[in-house]
Structure 1
Amino acid sequence: MNTIDWTVWNLNEVRRRSVKVWQSIPADKLNWKPDENAMTCFEMIRHVLDSEYYYYLALQNRGSLSSYESPYEARDFVSVQAELDFAGVYREAFMTYVEQLPEPDLATVQINRSESGYVRSLGDMLLRIAYHEAVHTGQLLDYLRTANIERVRVWD
């Protein structure tokens, strides 16, 4: 496997485990949050999906976007599965983009997010996208623990 293959594998593994957690959250707990300043379970799921799409556009732009209209903004929440179905087209476009990247671009292409405090290589950004999702999946596991809800086994 080359670096692109490993990157795709990592993104897919992180998503597979996230989906296991997301789909395990009881429907009546999707609007639960541990405190008034936290995101709800649903808001965190949507944040991950929407952020991936934003990052995909930012990677193509080689930096932050001057404006962004989220395709998720006007959507009502129906279910985790409906959210995943809606996100499918964006996920597929992102993964196709990653799969077709020339391997040298991972080190040579710079993504300028100066307003957020960093400029990183394309490869670094792809790892950060997976890391961002993994962190939020970990937060959701903590939410479930705090709410005394059984947690699905993600370490298979």
Structure 2
Amino acid sequence: MSTIPMLLKEMEQEAQTTRKMLSIVPNDKYDWQPHKKSMTVQKLATHIAELPNWVTMAIHTDGLDFGEHPYEPSTINNTADLLKFFEESYENGRSNLAQANEEDFDKKWVLRNGDQVLLESTKGEIIRVAYSQTVHHRAQLGVFLRLLDIPIPGSYGPSADELGL
């Protein structure tokens, strides 16, 4: 199997798990945060929902400079809009990946803040970073929701909640 079909398969598998997690975010908890240094549920969930767009960015750009393009997250305050935003982001990333030229995956991609290089990698590696970021932040959201006593869906098998533990 070539790289693009493998990445598309993984993207769909992670999207299924991400949908489950995003769908249980309670509308009345978007401003909650477990610690003053933590993101709010709103910021974290919205970031998770936007991450498939990084696949498109990796494919069509040579990098991102926060010095020239400061990060401006979307503001979403309810779960219906969050899921809609995720589906749009997912379809954007998936369709661009499906049409990508695998030979471009070895080209350099740089994340920077002005002169400071934060990450230098290949476009293919940045696609995988987007997937890893999704899993990482989805796990954070799971902890946030657990602290709010919200039953958590399983990611790669049943959760303790689904097993009735």
2:96 alignment partner AA: Y
Tell me if structure 2 keeps the 8 A contact 1:110–1:121.
Answer: yes
Taking CA–CA contacts closer than 8 Å with sequence separation of 6 or more, which of the two structures ends up with the larger relative contact order? 1
Secondary structure in 2 matching 1:64 = strand
Instruction: Report the aligned-residue RMSD.
Output: 2.4
CA distance 1:70–1:36, shift in 2 (3 Å): closer
CA displacement, residues 16-55 of structure 1 (integer Å, 9 cap, x when unaligned): 2111011123333333221122112221011223444356
Task: Give yes or no for the alignment of 1:9 onto 2:9.
Answer: yes
CA displacement, residues 36-93 of structure 1 (integer Å, 9 cap, x when unaligned): 2211222101122344435633542211143257472xx452x222122134334322
Secondary structure in 1 matching 2:109 = strand
Q: 5+ unaligned residues in a row in structure 1: which ranges? A: none
Tell me if structure 1 keeps the 8 A contact 2:21–2:138.
Answer: yes
Which protein has the bigger strand share? 2
**Alpha-carbon deviation of 1:139?**
0.6
- In the alignment, the residues of structure 2 paired with residue 35 and residue 132 of structure 1 have an alpha-carbon distance, to the nearest angstrom, of 20
Secondary structure in 2 matching 1:105 = helix
CA distance 1:76–1:122, shift in 2 (3 Å): closer
Q: Which moved more, 1:54-63 or 1:128-137?
A: 54-63
2:7 alignment partner AA: T
Identity %: 18
Task: Give yes or no for the alignment of 1:146 onto 2:144.
Answer: no
- In the alignment, the residues of structure 2 paired with residue 71 and residue 29 of structure 1 have an alpha-carbon distance, to the nearest angstrom, of 18
- In the alignment, the residues of structure 2 paired with residue 25 and residue 83 of structure 1 have an alpha-carbon distance, to the nearest angstrom, of 9
Secondary structure in 2 matching 1:144 = helix
Runs of 4+ off more than 6 Å:
none
What is the TM-score of this pair, normalised by structure 1?
Answer: 0.81
Q: How does 1:45-124 map to 2 (within 5 A)?
A: 45-53=45-53, 56-57=56-57, 59-65=59-65, 66-67=68-69, 70=72, 72=74, 75-77=75-77, 79-106=78-105, 108-114=106-112, 115-124=116-125
CA distance 1:149–1:92, shift in 2 (3 Å): closer
* Residue number in structure 2 paired with 1:134: 135
Q: How many residues align?
A: 152
Which protein has the bigger helix share? 1
Tell me if structure 1 keeps the 8 A contact 2:54–2:93.
Answer: no
Tell me if structure 2 keeps the 8 A contact 1:111–1:125.
Answer: yes
- In the alignment, the residues of structure 1 paired with residue 71 and residue 26 of structure 2 have an alpha-carbon distance, to the nearest angstrom, of 30
- In the alignment, the residues of structure 1 paired with residue 150 and residue 76 of structure 2 have an alpha-carbon distance, to the nearest angstrom, of 25
CA distance 1:68–1:37, shift in 2 (3 Å): closer
Q: 5+ unaligned residues in a row in structure 2: which ranges? A: 158-165
